[in-house]
Structure 1
Amino acid sequence: MSYELIAALMFSTMMLMLLTGQRVFGAIGFVAVMAALFLWGDRGGYDLGFSAAMKLMKWYPLLTLPMFIFMGYILSESRIADDLYRMFHVWMGGLSGGLAVGTIGLMVLISAMNGLSVAGMAIGATIALPELLRRNYDKRMVTGVIQAGSSLGILVPPSVVLVLYAMIARQPVGQLWLAGAVPGLMMAGLFIGYIVIRCRLNPALGPVLAPEDRAMPRVEKLRLLRAGLLPLVIFAVMMVPFVNGYTSLVESSAIGAIAAFLAAVLKGRMNRVVFENSVRKTLGITCMFMWIILAALAFGAVFDGLGAVRAIEHLFTERLGLNPWMILILMQLSFIVMGTFLDDTAMLVIVAPLYVPLVDALGFDLIWYGVLYTITTQIAYMTPPFGYNLFLMRAMAPPEITLRDIYVSIVPFVGVMIVALALVMAFPEIALWLPGLVYDY
């Protein structure tokens, strides 16, 4: 049996297992180990899993994963995120569409606290969505705002997905985070620009709050401002020493976790239930990601042994005669197709063993490509008919918001994200400027 046929059989078997509802790490790991046993016998198959586990355990930056997740859950469970939204509610309610703009701001800050899009979705659907509907905001507008804003969690640092990409692509996590910062803020700015223009043209979509709703003593407004800016202070305490070279990435993640814990204690919101829920959820998410990385490493090792990357490069560049940019665009389109039934982590670990070496061989920058990958998976997350975020939104939204509303709501925001993707592809310095400034990259 040829190696090309073995590679195709591995992919088809894995996709079939995923379509039948198997766990991502189970499907990927099973296919990898079985292929290794078939190719290299008992010794090769057993050594594959052991080698992948040792590589995972020795990857020191992986310690950032539980730290950042714990920080995010502490701030979420202690309701510090609620203070953020109350701040936006008071300070931006006088602008047409102001609460929707504030919701995007909330999502950016939640992303900077947690690094997971699911966390932003949960907070937006439980805190912002009921308030926006109660204030007579258009249901399709606000549904799209929350879905688009929550997608920033995998791009704005500390993105957990970029940590996984760094592990698989063997790139520095710090440079990837800085590369994602400017595009993430640019995308948030494009979302805000769209909301403001749309609500200016049609004020009924995002009505201005009544004066009595905004009436509040200045002292109380300033108190809310201080409370709402607390997560920014925590983020600064964590990231400034790292950017200036005083601490390592792992040390900064520990500082962030400790700062979030102390903030909850000082505000009197830390109790046994909050702490236990945060630890339990952190453990569950961290273990899930570690199993996925372990399976991805094993899967990638088989593909390295097969020489599949060289075969695909030969197919695209010599047999089909495609230039590097055409190949890159085809890669991005494949992510959008896979996003109809897979989440961002699954997409990464399935195709990274093929795409990352191929991107490097084509002469593209792997830091820049990491940003392209995250933006593309954001788009795939929200592309009908089976985008992952669409069904998360349906599960969390009230009954009056139908699946049709959710599908229609996301169309303009997907258009905005495609514009952002095109800008980053056309002008790589949007992603590479900040890591170049800090790391002389």
Structure 2
Amino acid sequence: MSYEMIALLMFSTMMVMLLTGQRVFGAIGFVAAGAALLLWGTGGSEMAFSASMKLMKWYPLLTLPLFIFMGYMLSESGIAEDLYKMFHVWMGPLPGGLAVGTIGLMVIISAMNGLSVAGMAIGATIALPELLRRGYDKIMVTGVIQAGSSLGILVPPSVVLVLYGMIARQPVGKLWLGGVFPGLILAAMFIAYIVIRCKMQPNLGPALPKEERDMPMSEKLKLLRAGILPLIIFFLMTGLFLMGVTSLVESSAVGAASAMGAAAIKGLLNKQLIESTVRKTLGISCMFMWIILAALCFGAVFDGLGAVRAIRTLFLDDLGLGPWEILIMMQLSYILMGMFLDDTAMLVIVAPLFIPLVGSLGFDLIWYGVLYTITCQIAYMTPPFGYNLFLMRAMAPPTISLIDIYRSVVPFVAIMVLGLALVTIFPELATWLPEKVYAR
């Protein structure tokens, strides 16, 4: 059997195992270990050991549990509720103002968390009931929460970009910086859509009643205090890192310590909270580590077979495709897989194949990491099986049906596709800031 057929057999076996409901790391690790033993005998067992050592020696891996800990600690500190009250008053007078405030809330939560699930949970429990009570259109606000929460995997400190950096061997700091402008551009496009749509159809997002807007300026300024803690945490964590005062790992440690400080200021820091947060952090961190380990082992076998070179030859020489055509095919495959899998599973499955291929085609891997992440956002919200769609269905009240959720994402998916096209056509949107900062 040729090496190309072996590679194809490995890939197809892994996909079949995933469709049977096996855990991602189990399916990928089993195929990788089995292929290594069959191809190279007992010596193939060294691949898994080598991958383990490579993983454990990679110092930036320490950022993963620290950011996860920070996210869980912040979700229990009540910061999100205070922020929403602030946006409620300041944005309320605008048509669709509370929906705009929800996007602002999601951006801040993303900048403190790095996970889309956290933004979805906060939006569905805090913002959604209030928006519905205020007479906002249920289809529009459902889309707002899903789109806003998807920013969590793009805006730093994105955990997805940390994982991409680990697998692609790219500086996580550059990836974070690469996601800043695209993330803010997407947020601005969401806000522009909401404002324009609600001006055209005021019944979709009514402004806050005049009696609720008549608040002394001193009271409004007091509400701004809700933004002080998030700004302090963001500055201590990301600002010091960008200024070169802290390293990436030190930045994550500062973020975790700041989150504990925020909980203490709120009077919520106790033994029960710490124990619960540590348990959740350990569970998620171990899951990510097993997945990365399986990906590294699978990648080592794939590379040993020369599969990447064979696929590059197939696309470029045999099929005559250009680099951009290959890139578009890869992005479309992400959207297709995103209907069934989450971002981590997609990254692990295609990383051994796509990342080396992208590098060999001459594309910048920092820029590609941002493209991958935006494509994941689109895939999350693509019917019929997008990951965010079912998360929203689980959290939404019974009055919001699955058909409503499907309809709600259409305009926001279109906006994300436009954002993806902008970053594809103008790579500087993702590469300018990291090049500028790292040039110092």
8 Å Cα contact 2:76/2:263 also seen in 1: no
Aligned runs of 1:104-253 on 2, under 5 Å? 104-253=103-252
CA contact 2:103–2:145 (8 Å) conserved in 1: yes
One-letter amino acid of the counterpart of residue 328, structure 1: L
Instruction: State whether structure 2 residue 300 is matched by structure 1 residue 301.
Output: yes
CA contact (8 A) 1:77 1:277 kept: no
CA contact (8 A) 1:336 1:380 kept: yes
The letter for the 1-side match of 2:30 is: F
Query: Could you report, residue by residue, the CA deviation over 1:360-393 in whole angstroms, capped at 9, with x for unpaired residues?
Result: 1111101000000000111011101111110111
Tell me if the contact between 2:339 and 2:380 (Cα under 8 Å) persists in the aligned partners. yes
> In the TM superposition, what is the alpha-carbon distance from 1:212 to its structure 2 partner?
2.6
1: CA distance, partners of 2:100 / 2:436: 30
Structure 1 residue 272: deviation in Å? 2.7
Aligned equivalents of 2:74, 2:24: Cα separation in 1: 29
Match in the other structure for 2:396: 397
SS at match of 2:94: coil
Q: CA deviation at 1:211?
A: 2.1
Give the Cα separation in 1 of the matches to 2:28 and 2:15. Answer: 9
Q: Does structure 1 conserve the Cα–Cα contact (< 8 Å) formed by 2:77 and 2:262?
A: no
Alignment correspondent of 2:36: 36
Correspondence for 1:68 = 67
Q: How many Å separate the matches in 2 of 1:72 and 1:58?
A: 25
Instruction: Kindly provide the amino acid, as one letter, of the partner of residue 333 in structure 1.
Output: L
Distance verdict in 2 for CA 1:62–1:312, change over 3 Å? same
Question: In the TM superposition, what are the counterparts of 1:275-354 in structure 2 within 5 Å?
Answer: 275-354=274-353
Residue 439 of structure 2 aligns with which residue? 440
SS in 2 for 1:270: coil
Counterparts of 2:65 and 2:212 in 1: how far apart (Å)?
40
What residue in structure 1 maps to residue 86 of structure 2? Answer: 87
Q: Give the % identical residues.
A: 76
CA contact (8 A) 1:14 1:31 kept: yes
The number of aligned residues is 440
Task: Give the superposition deviation at 1:16.
Answer: 1.1
**Shift of residue 203 of structure 1?**
0.6
Distance 2:232 2:143 in 1: 29
Q: Is the 8 A contact 1:85 1:228 kept in 2?
A: no
Contact 2:31 2:298 survives alignment (8 Å) = yes
1:175-230 per-position Cα deviation (integer Å, ceiling 9, x unaligned): 00000111001111111111111111101100011123334343332222112332
CA contact (8 A) 1:78 1:274 kept: no
- Please state whether the residue corresponding to 1:229 is helix, strand or coil: helix
In structure 2, C-alpha distance between the alignment counterparts of 1:34 and 1:215, rounded to whole Å: 69
**What secondary structure, in the 3-state scheme, does the structure 1 residue paired with 2:128 have?**
helix
Partner of 2:54: 55
Is the contact made by 2:78 and 2:266 (CA closer than 8 Å) also made in structure 1? no
* d(CA) in 1 for partners of 2:196, 2:25: 43
Distance 2:204 2:228 in 1: 28
SS class of match (2:220): helix
**2:271 maps to what in 1?**
272
**Larger CA deviation: 372-381 vs 76-85:** 76-85
Q: Which amino acid aligns with 1:61?
A: P
C-alpha contact 2:382 2:413 (8 A) present in aligned 1: yes
**Separation (CA, whole Å) in 2 of partners of 1:316 and 1:255:** 46
Q: Hey, what's the Cα distance between the residues in 1 that align with 2:135 and 2:250?
A: 45
- Cα distance per residue 1:271-295 (max 9 Å; x no partner): 2332222222111111111111011
3-state secondary structure, aligned to 1:386: coil
Residue 104 of structure 1 aligns to which amino acid in structure 2? I
* Native 8 Å contact 1:84 1:229 kept in 2: no
* TM-score of the pair, normalised by structure 2: 0.98
Structure 2 alignment gaps of length 5 or more: none
Is 2:357 the counterpart of 1:355? no
Partner of 1:26: 26
In 1: Cα distance, 2:12 partner to 2:66 partner: 36
Distance in 2 between residues matched to 1:337 and 1:71, nearest whole Å: 32
TM-score w.r.t. the length of structure 1 is: 0.98
Alpha-carbon distance, 1:331 to partner? 0.5
Unpaired runs of 5+ residues, structure 1, are none
The AA in structure 2 aligned to 1:226 is: R
Contact 1:147 1:393 in 2 (8 A): yes
Distance 1:80 1:10 in 2: 47
Deviation at 1:416, TM superposition (A): 0.1
Contact 2:77 2:266 in 1 (8 A): no
In 2, distance between residues paired with 1:196 and 1:426?
Answer: 27
Distance 1:153 1:6 in 2: 37
CA contact (8 A) 1:77 1:278 kept: no
| Structure-1 separation of matches of 2:4 and 2:50 | 24
Report SS of the residue matched to 2:70: helix
Aligned mates of 2:354, 2:289 — CA distance in 1: 21
The answer for the alignment partner of 2:379 in structure 1 is: 380
AA aligned to 2:330 is M
Partners of 1:17 and 1:89 in 2: CA distance? 47
Q: Which residue of 2 aligns with 1:421?
A: 420
Separation of aligned partners in 2, 1:113 and 1:241: 14
